[in-house]
C-alpha cells in the first residue's frame, strides 16, 4: 500500500478540479504536487478559488512535469483522448470527462459531435462506478473513466432491478440537476442566476449525451429527460421501471438493501430524499416504492453532482486503485443546513 500518493490535478480551477483539491486536503495519504490551468497559469489557486485555503500555484499543463502517481484530468471532453496516452507511461489516470466512458466510438461521435481520437493505450479504460464495476477491475486499471453525475444516479437506481432480471420494459428517468453541473466556464445567459431563479425547465429532451452511457450498462433503451433547476448543487432522479409481477414495496426495498449491503456510499432510505441531505457528501441516497396499479417500481436517487457525481467518485476510484479503503478521506455525512 502506498504511504504517500503524489497527485496532479489538470484543470484545478474548474468546479470538478477544485473539489478534488478540497477533498484531498483531508486525505491522509495523498499529496497534491501539481495543479494546472490553461487560463490562470502562474497564479495562486486560492486567487481563482478563494474558498480553498491552499498555497498551491497553478502551472501550464506539461506531461513531463506532472510529478505524480495519479493524474486527475478535469478538462472538457476532447482533452483526455488527446493527452491520456502521453501521461500513462508515467502515472495512472482518472478522467472526469466523457472521453473514455463509451465503448462504442460511433455513439461517441453521434452524441458528442466529434470523432474519437482512439489513442493507443496500454489497456482498455475501466468505467469507474465502484458500486457496479467491481473493485478488482478498478484496482488493476491504468485509466479510469469517471462516470457522469446523471448516469451515476440513474445507474445506482436501475442496476439492482436490471441485475435481478426484474425489468420488463423501458425505464423512464426524470432527472434534475443543479446548475454547477454545467461547469464553471459557461458564458450563456441561461446559466445566470437571474435567468434561472423562479424557473424550472427540461433540456436536451431527445438525445442527451448521457443516454448511451446509461444504456451501456443497462443493456436496453432508456427514456431519459434532464431538467435544470435553480440550485447550485444536486442531482435528483426519479426512475419509473416496469417490473415483473409478484413484488411489493417491502420486497423491493429488501432487494436494494441486499444489493448495496457492502456499499459504503449508497444508503437505502425510508422516505423520499432531498438533494440537500447529501450536499457535500460522497453519498447517494435511494428510496424505493412500488405502484401496484401500474406495475412500476419507482426509485428516487439523490447525490451531490460535484462529489459523488464527479470529484468524490474520482477520489474513491483513486483509493481503490492505490489499494486503500475506498472511504479514505471522503465525507459520508452531508452539510446542513
Q: What is the pLDDT of residues 156-189, one digit of tens each?
A: 999 999 999 999 999 999 999 999 887 877 667 7
The whole-number average pLDDT for the span 82-87 is 96
| Close Cβ partners of 266 (under 8 Å, ≥ 6 residues apart) | 131, 156, 260, 283, 284, 285, 286
Catalytic residue positions? 149
Candidates 201, 290, 220, 218; CA nearest to 253 is: 290
% of residues, the chain, pLDDT over 70: 98
| Close Cβ partners of 186 (under 8 Å, ≥ 6 residues apart) | none
- pLDDT attached to residue 188: 74
- pLDDT attached to residue 160: 98
- Provide the 8-state DSSP code for 146: P
Using one digit for the tens of pLDDT, what is the confidence trace for 250-287? 999 999 999 999 999 999 999 999 999 999 999 999 99
Supply the DSSP string of 69-107, one letter for each residue.
SEEEE-S-TTHHHHHHHHHTTTSEEEE-SSTTT-S-HHH
Using one digit for the tens of pLDDT, what is the confidence trace for 215-250? 999 999 999 999 999 999 999 999 999 999 999 999
- pLDDT attached to residue 326: 98
What element of type H or E holds 254? helix 249-259
Residue where the block lists cell 478559488:
49
With cut-offs at 50, 70 and 90, classify the pLDDT of residue 1.
Answer: very low
The whole-number average pLDDT for the span 114-135 is 95
Mean pLDDT (the chain) is 95
With cut-offs at 50, 70 and 90, classify the pLDDT of residue 70.
Answer: very high
% of residues, the chain, pLDDT over 90: 93
Residue where the block lists cell 466529434:
114
Alpha carbon distances (Å) from 237 to 234, 255, 318: 10, 19, 26
Sheet holding 30-36, edge to edge: 58-59, 30-36, 5-10, 70-73, 92-95, 143-145, 126-127
Q: Please tell me the distance from the alpha carbon of residue 288 to that of residue 259, in angstroms, as a whole number.
A: 13
- pLDDT attached to residue 195: 83
Q: Which domains are delineated in the chain?
A: 5-147+308-321 (3.40.50.720), 149-305 (3.30.360.10)
- pLDDT attached to residue 153: 98
Using one digit for the tens of pLDDT, what is the confidence trace for 28-38? 999 999 999 98
Check if the beta carbon of residue 29 is closer than 8 Å to that of residue 328.
Answer: yes
Q: Which three cell numbers stand for residue 332?
A: 459520508
With cut-offs at 50, 70 and 90, classify the pLDDT of residue 192.
Answer: confident
Candidates 317, 310, 315; CA nearest to 329 is: 315
Check if the beta carbon of residue 32 is closer than 8 Å to that of residue 58.
Answer: no
| Close Cβ partners of 265 (under 8 Å, ≥ 6 residues apart) | 131, 282, 283, 284, 308, 316, 326, 327, 330, 332
The whole-number average pLDDT for the span 137-154 is 98
Q: Which three cell numbers stand for residue 103?
A: 465503448
Amino acid at each position: 500500500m502506498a504511504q504517500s500518493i503524489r497527485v496532479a490535478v489538470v484543470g484545478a480551477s474548474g468546479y470538478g478540479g477544485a473539489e478534488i483539491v478540497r477533498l484531498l486536503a483531508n486525505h491522509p495519504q495523498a499529496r497534491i504536487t501539481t495543479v494546472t490551468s490553461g487560463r490562470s497559469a502562474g497564479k495562486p489557486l486560492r486567487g481563482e478559488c478563494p474558498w480553498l485555503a491552499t498555497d498551491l500555484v497553478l502551472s501550464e499543463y506539461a506531461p513531463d512535469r506532472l510529478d505524480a502517481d495519479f493524474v486527475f484530468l478535469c478538462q472538457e471532453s476532447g482533452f483526455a483522448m488527446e493527452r491520456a496516452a502521453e501521461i500513462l507511461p508515467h502515472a495512472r489516470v482518472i478522467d472526469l470527462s466523457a472521453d473514455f466512458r463509451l465503448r462504442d466510438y460511433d455513439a461517441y461521435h453521434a452524441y458528442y459531435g466529434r470523432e474519437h481520437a482512439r489513442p493507443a493505450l496500454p489497456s482498455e479504460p475501466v468505467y469507474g462506478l465502484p458500486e457496479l464495476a467491481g473493485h478488482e477491475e478498478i484496482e488493476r486499471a491504468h485509466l479510469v473513466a469517471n462516470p457522469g453525475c446523471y448516469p451515476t444516479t440513474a445507474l445506482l437506481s436501475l442496476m439492482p432491478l436490471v441485475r435481478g432480471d426484474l425489468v420488463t420494459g423501458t425505464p423512464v428517468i426524470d432527472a434534475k440537476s443543479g446548475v454547477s453541473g454545467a461547469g464553471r466556464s459557461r458564458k450563456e445567459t441561461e446559466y445566470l442566476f437571474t435567468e434561472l431563479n423562479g424557473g424550472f425547465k427540461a433540456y436536451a429532451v431527445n438525445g442527451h449525451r448521457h443516454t448511451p452511457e446509461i444504456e451501456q450498462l443497462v443493456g436496453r433503451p432508456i427514456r431519459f429527460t434532464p431538467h435544470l433547476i435553480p440550485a447550485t448543487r444536486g442531482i435528483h432522479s426519479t426512475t419509473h421501471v416496469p417490473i415483473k409481477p409478484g413484488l411489493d414495496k417491502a420486497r423491493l426495498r429488501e432487494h436494494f438493501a441486499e444489493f448495496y449491503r457492502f456499499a459504503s456510499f449508497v444508503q437505502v432510505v425510508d422516505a423520499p430524499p432531498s438533494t440537500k441531505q447529501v450536499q457535500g457528501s460522497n453519498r447517494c441516497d435511494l428510496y424505493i416504492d412500488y405502484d401496484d396499479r401500474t406495475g412500476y417500481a419507482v426509485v428516487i436517487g439523490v447525490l451531490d453532482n460535484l462529489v459523488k457525481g464527479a470529484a468524490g467518485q474520482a477520489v474513491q476510484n483513486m483509493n481503490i486503485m492505490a489499494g486503500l479503503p475506498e472511504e479514505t478521506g471522503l465525507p459520508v455525512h452531508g452539510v446542513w443546513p
